[in-house]
């Protein structure tokens, strides 16, 4: 079969408010159970693939998160830590077996119409993902690193430095890429499959490789500032 183009679907549908009974169910759970009890109950529906399990995952996420929009999809086997810090927009899709690790005093914001492929990992202790971002399967977004000092103790015993990560709206992250701590991606970036991004990426740039390097500007974009370091 020859190459063909088909219309994109995710992020182009209208946002429809979740049913009132679903919202009421979440509110009722929040009023009746504490967070630990909710987490225990959630495990009953965490890995099922049917319509009922999918519905119940959304109900529990609304009860557990800081805030959550409409039309959110939580895949089977999605794991998390400190879900109470998560803020999700409308029409967020989180693929199967993805893991999001927050922190009790952290920030985890995922914008509207974000699509996250299966088996991704997010160190979401200080992470913001803008609107309409596509994240390929197996992607890793890292937000912390050990100081490795002093040298006379195991590295894992040294202090942890949390570095904020920001992924700009409209960006697209290729399969199995890695975003390192402290990196900021500008609006509409493209990150190639398998790339390891170690430094900031400007708006509408395409980067690829290990470590990721500037390839070119996206077609149709004329940068205001020439001479970006390649």
pLDDT in tens, 37-60: 999 999 999 999 999 999 999 999
Cα separations in angstroms, 131 against 84, 88, 113: 21, 10, 6
Is a pLDDT exceeding 60 seen at residue 76? yes
Mean pLDDT of all residues in 192-219: 97
82 catalytic? Reply is no
Q: Are the beta carbons of 110 and 90 closer than 8 angstroms?
A: no
φ, ψ (nearest 5 deg) of residue 68: -150, 135
Burial letters for 149-177: b for 16+ Cβ neighbours within 10 Å, e otherwise? eeeeeeeeeeeeebeebbbbbbbbbbebb
Catalytic residue among 73, 82, 113, 146: 146
Collect all residues with Cβ–Cβ distance below 8 Å to 37 and sequence separation of at least 6: none
CATH topology of domain 78-217: UDP N-Acetylglucosamine Acyltransferase; domain 1 (2.160.10)
Cβ distance 60 to 40 under 8 Å? Answer: no
Report the pLDDT value the prediction gives residue 224, as an integer from 0 to 100. Answer: 65
Reported as a single tens digit per residue, the pLDDT across 99-133 is: 999 999 999 999 999 999 999 999 999 999 999 99
């Amino acid at each position: 079969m020859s190459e063909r183009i088909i219309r994109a679907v995710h992020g182009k549908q209208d946002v429809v408010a979740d049913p009132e009974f679903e919202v009421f169910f979440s509110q009722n759970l929040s009023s009746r159970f504490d967070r630990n009890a909710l987490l225990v109950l959630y495990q009953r529906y965490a890995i099922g693939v049917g319509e009922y399990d999918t519905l119940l995952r959304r109900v529990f996420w609304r009860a557990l998160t800081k805030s959550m929009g409409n039309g959110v999809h939580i895949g089977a086997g999605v794991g998390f830590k400190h879900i109470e810090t998560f803020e999700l927009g409308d029409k967020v899709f989180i693929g199967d077996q993805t893991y999001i690790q927050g922190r009790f005093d952290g920030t985890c914001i995922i914008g509207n119409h974000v699509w996250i492929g299966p088996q991704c990992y997010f160190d979401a202790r200080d992470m913001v993902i803008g609107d309409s971002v596509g994240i390929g399967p197996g992607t890793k977004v890292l937000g912390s690193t050990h100081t490795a000092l002093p040298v006379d103790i195991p590295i894992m015993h040294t202090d942890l430095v949390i570095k904020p990560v920001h992924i700009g709206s409209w960006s697209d992250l290729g399969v199995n890429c890695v975003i390192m701590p402290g990196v900021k991606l500008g609006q509409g970036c493209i990150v190639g499959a398998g790339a390891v991004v170690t430094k900031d990426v400007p708006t509408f740039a395409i980067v690829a490789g290990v470590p990721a390097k500037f390839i070119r500007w996206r077609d149709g974009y004329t940068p205001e500032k020439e001479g970006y370091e390649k």
